[in-house]
Amino acid sequence: MRPKRADGAFGEIKIAEPNVKRHLFSVGEVWRIWGKGLILGPGVSADDAMTITRGSEVELWRPDGTVEVVEIYAIEYPPSVKWVSKPEDVRYGVIISGDIAPSEVPVGTEVYLRDA
């Protein structure tokens, strides 16, 4: 016998998948670029920088437990060389758009890519 859906009809039952989030980095530094947004450092790996696009949404999980969703404005280039210990560890700063103050993204905030 085929499974019965909640609406009483027969057919395939689909279980909703939770939103998959991918951890990108923990914020170590924040500064503002007027007219663009905030740069969050150390940023993302070179591999992540190639797959993240403008308008992608990230979740900011602050140390106080609050969460805010913001859009990526751009990926910083050239990369943040001050965070590099080896060439393969190059990180690219993430610029987030919106009307958000640097104090709203404290050091230790975890950055997750939505719907990875």
Q: What is the pLDDT of residues 15-51, one digit of tens each?
A: 444 456 899 999 999 999 888 899 998 889 888 888 8
Is the model's pLDDT at 1 over the cut of 80? no
Domain chopping of the chain, boundaries: 21-114
The superfamily in CATH containing domain 21-114 is Translation factors (2.40.30.10)
Is the model's pLDDT at 104 over the cut of 70? yes
Please tell me whether residue 47 adopts helix, strand or coil conformation.
Answer: helix
Is the model's pLDDT at 83 over the cut of 60? no
